[in-house]
Amino acid sequence: MKYSELNLDPKLVSAIENLNYVEATAIQEQTIPHILAGKDVAGLAQTGTGKTAAFLIPLIERILRTHNDPNHERAIKNWNARSFILILVPTRELADQINENVVKLAFGTGLKSYPLYGGTGYEKQKEALLSGLQFIVSTPGRLIDLY
């Protein structure tokens, strides 16, 4: 399946094209349509198969559709200005890696993400949370600390 077949928001399409993504991987082809439809998904695939994009692309799409038209079939119901997607990860390295992917895939959309993990100061993380994020990528410990 090609990404062009998914009828994605033009801003997301531009970010995907900038990354030279054309064909969805197997895990993406199996999960993206379900997430776009608002269904829960559990996936398992080898390292390097595109698992992160498999959930980020449809989530970014759904947030963009929500901002543009809250009644769109892909819109997230009950989304408001303080809503965000929480991605919980076990390590700071994975938090940084996934956050970098959010930044790349959301480039030009106005959506914001920030990683939260220990070993760094609280102030920048608190400021980021107050700035209005659409994605938070966090380790459990730091999430509990900031809560």
For 22-33, what is each residue's pLDDT tens digit?
999 999 999 999
The pLDDT, as a whole number, for residue 46 is 94
Alpha-carbon distance of 126 to 79, in angstroms, equals 22
- 138, HSE (Cβ side, Cα atoms, 13 Å): 20
Q: Which of 77, 102, 125 is the last residue of a domain?
A: 77
pTM for this prediction: 0.95
Tell me, yes or no, whether 42 and 59 share the same domain.
yes
The number of distinct structural domains making up the chain is 2
CATH number at residue 71: 3.40.50.300
- Alpha-helical (H) ranges within 2-119 are 10-18, 26-36, 51-68, 92-105
Tell me, yes or no, whether 134 and 108 share the same domain.
yes
Host domain of residue 16? 1-77
The pLDDT, as a whole number, for residue 145 is 95
Tell me, yes or no, whether 72 and 94 share the same domain.
no
Tell me, yes or no, whether 37 and 85 share the same domain.
no
The pLDDT, as a whole number, for residue 40 is 95
Low-confidence ranges of the chain (pLDDT < 50): none
